Structure formats: structure tokens, C-alpha cells
Amino acid sequence: MKALRDAFDRVHPFFAKGGLLEKAYPMYEALDTFLFTPGETAHGRTHVRDNIDLKRMMITVVFALIPVTLFGMWNTGYQANSAIQKMTEANVDFDYDWHHTVHTAIGLGHDPANHIDNFVYGAIFFIPIYVVCMFVGGHVELVFSVLRGHEINEGFLVTGLLFPLTLPASIPLWQVAVGIAFGVIVAKEVFGGTGRNFLNVALTSRAFLYFAYAGQISGDKVWTAVDGFSGATALGQMANARDNAVESLGAVQYVWGAEEPITWMQAFIGTIQGCVGETSALLCLVGALILIASGIGSWKIMGGVVAGVTATALLLSGIGSETNPMFAVPFYWHLVIGGLAFGLVFMATDPVSASMTELGKWVYGILIGFMTVLIRVVNPAFPEGIMLAILFGNVFAPLIDWAVVQLNIRRRAARYVTA
């Protein structure tokens, strides 16, 4: 590593101010800080020193995302291989695409009982989405950094992984490129870059795709990576249920509406249809423990979301409805279906777009939980509510913090008056 360090030091004058490649300094600085710890240190009593910087924070979040990413690739392959097996047994014709060609070229088949078949087939779908997202989004950030003369921050390492995990595996790659470019430019760069965006970039990208290209990111035909196979998510099945959204058989809860009912444990583990990284509440919980233990993710925001979901679901189930089956969905089902677990762990806790005051974090989390269930129940045509709920919370986070600060000021003023 010393030889590499020396090589970087030799070319540094070319990228420094006044050098021949001055405009390309953000590229040099990004690669340097990615490979090595920055050599600059703070001096003076006015600086607050911490053992974690932006790079370490972002790497920790990426580390927390690894379990859901690996499982998401496996589950994508498992759902696809299960569908292929069913369609083959039923003599249903369907078209293979280039993913199948690559998969069979390396000598693998479509056996859903084979974990290698599942993982590799899922990876063939996910990795291109991830590469396109990183390539396009990274170059957008590079262009803005060069134009402004700013450093390239590590924040996109997280955004570039979060966004693909919120997409169905069957999404066209060109839409991935358009979506991430829109999110980085509109939700981040126009406000000044990393640390200045008030909206979550990954969710803004996904919201743009949802409203611009709804046919490729919603409906029953996009959740399984097999052309022509139709299957709704658990939320979709609940919203379309004619009688009760959830029925009880003994001690086991089932979602009805599919050929094979989904148990609560299946939804908790994540072996169901959905976006690549959002199906497993169990592995989202693992990620939550990592973020909380490292001090990066706020347990107050997570707890607030859970409290908001629980209270709202209990309230609406108590009200009931004869025409809307979503009113009957228990709170513990809301917590494991859709992208709620993924959103409350990795999206709602975004330190830039979330509330920063301690009381505000609780209010912010409760607001997101309330809005999530309200959107899911009151508007069954839009069964997934966590995306819009978090963006709604992002918009109100500054107002929440302002209100908390003003409340503290009034309390302190009243304390001094009575002293």
C-alpha cells in the first residue's frame, strides 16, 4: 500500500489548485479517500472530534444492507424458478430472455430447491440493475462535483444500493438509469449536494418511476422475474380480497387470494413476492440492530414508526368496514408486508432528511407510521404506503424540528421567569 500511497502523492500536484488537471480534482480526491484515510486533521478547541466520519458512516450502512441484498438475490431467483417450475408442469408457454441464456450458459438450471440456482439466477437480474444505477448516478454526481469544484461524497454508495433494492427485478434497465438520474439531480444536486437534500434520494427516484412508468413498477406481473407470470404481492392480495383480508386457521395467520396462502412467518422471513430487497422483515431487523449498535440509525425513529403503525392499525380495525378488507388487517401483518420494515430501518432513519431533535424523531416516526397505514387502508388502489409516507415525513421534518426547538425555548423562558 505504501507504493500506491507514494504514487498518489506524486500525481497530487497535477490535481491541486493551479495544476494541469485541477478540474478533475474531485475524481482524484474521491479515489484517494476511498482507498486511504484522509490525511487532514482538525486543529483548535473549536472542533468536535469523532471517531466516525462520512465515509465510515456510509460504509456501515452498506454493511447493514448486505444481508437484505444477498437474501433479495436469492429470493428473486427462488420466486422466478418456482414460477418457471409451475408453468412448465402446467404446459404454459412463456418466453425466456437473456437472463436465462446467461444462467444456462454457466451450467445451472431452474430448480427452486437448489439454493445455487436461486441465488445465481437472482444475481443475474440484480447485478445489472445495481451496475446501471451506480454508473449513471455516479457520473451525475461526478459532473456536478467537477462543475462546482466540490468533493465527491460517499453518500451515493448508500443511495446507489438502496434504490435497486426498492425495485422489482424485472424493471427495464433504461428506467433504472432515468430514475436514479432524476433522483440525484432533482432531490439532491439542485439543493447543493450531500447533506443539503431534504428528500430521500432513493425514494424520490422510486416515486418518479412509480408515477412516470407505473406499468413497470406496479401491478401483478412485475414482481416475479418470469415473462407472462402474474402474481400479486401480499399487500395486493389483501387489497383485492373479497371477504376478509386475513383469516385465521388455528394459531397461524394466512393471507388469502392466491393459489397458495401466505403465512405470517413466510412474510416475516421474506420468501414472498415483492421488490428485491424489501421482502424480509427478519433481515431488515438484523440491519436495524447494526445501525442502532453503531449509533447511525435512530431507534427512536424506528420505534416511532412501529408505534404509529400499531396505533393506526388498531384504530382502523376497531372502526371496521364492510366494503374495504384492508381495515381488518392486524398491525403485526402491516409490519411484515410491503416495504415497511425496509423503509423504517434504512429510509426513515436517513440522518439528512429525517428530524434531528430527540422529541422530533418520535413525532417524525409516528407521522410516517400513521401515514403508511392510512394510505394502505383508505386507498387500496395504492397498497404500498411507506414510500409516500416517508417523503411526506421528509417534507415536514424541518417544521417538526422547528416546533420542538420553539417548545424548548418557551419552556426555558418560563423556567427562568419562575426562578
Q: Summarize pLDDT for 122-165 with one digit per residue, the tens.
A: 999 999 999 999 999 988 888 888 777 777 776 778 889 999 99
Query: Which residues of the chain, if any, have pLDDT below 50?
Result: 242-243, 249-252, 256-258
- Going by their DSSP bridges, the two strands 252-255 and 262-263 should be labelled as antiparallel
Residues 163/72, Cβ–Cβ less than 8 Å: no
Q: DSSP letters along 95-162, please?
A: ---HHHHHHHHTT----TT-HHHHHHHHHHHHHHHHHHHHHHHHHHHHHHHHHHT----THHHHHHHH
Q: Under the phi-then-psi rule, with left for phi > 0, alpha for psi from -120 to 50, and beta for the rest, what region is 210?
A: alpha
For the beta carbon of residue 109, count every other beta carbon within 10 angstroms.
Answer: 12
Place of cell 436461486: 118
**Euclidean distance between CA atoms 64 and 283, whole angstroms:** 9
Q: Which three cell numbers stand for residue 264?
A: 405470517
In the numeric block, the cell 472542533 is attached to 47
A 10 A CB-CB count for 371 gives 23
Q: What pLDDT sits at residue 259? A: 52
Q: What is the spatial distance between Cα 240 and Cα 279, in angstroms, rounded to a whole number?
A: 19
Of 362, 298, 372, 301, the residue nearest 333 (C-alpha) = 372
Q: What is the pLDDT of residue 249?
A: 41
- Residue 208 CA neighbour count, 13 Å, CB half: 21
Give 3-state DSSP helix, strand, coil % of the chain, rounded to 5: 65, 0, 35
* Under 8 Å between Cβ of 220 and 231: yes
From start to end of 220-283, where are the E strands? Answer: 246-249, 252-255, 262-263
Question: How far is 1 from 314, CA to CA, in rounded Å?
Answer: 58
How high is the pLDDT of residue 255? 54
Q: What is the pLDDT of residue 232?
A: 61
Q: Positive or negative, the Cα torsion across 145, 150, 152, 154? A: negative
Cα 339 to Cα 32, 117, 283, 347, 379, distances in angstroms = 36, 25, 12, 10, 17
Cα 294 from chain centroid?
19
Nearest one of 270, 254, 245, 259 to 338, comparing CA atoms: 270
Between CA 282 and CA 302 the distance in angstroms is 15
Residue 361 is given by DSSP the state: H
* Segments in 16-114 forming alpha helices (H): 25-35, 54-89, 98-105
Q: Please report the pLDDT score of residue 252 as a whole number.
A: 47
Reading the block at residue 171, the C-alpha cell is 424493471
Grid coordinates given for 291: 445501525
For residue 414, which amino acid is it?
A
Share of the chain above pLDDT 90, in %: 41
Neighbours of 295 (CB within 10 A): 12
Neighbours of 115 (CB within 10 A): 12
Distance from C-alpha of 151 to C-alpha of 25, rounded to nearest angstrom? 8
pLDDT of res. 50: 57
pLDDT of residue 40: 61
Cell (9 digits) for 162: 438502496
Cα→Cα distances 4→32, 154, 241, Å: 10, 21, 61
Cell 430501518 maps to which residue?
345
- Integer CA distances (angstroms), 180 to 17, 30, 194, in order: 31, 20, 15
Beta carbons within 8 Å of 60's beta carbon, 6+ residues apart = 52, 290, 291, 294, 296
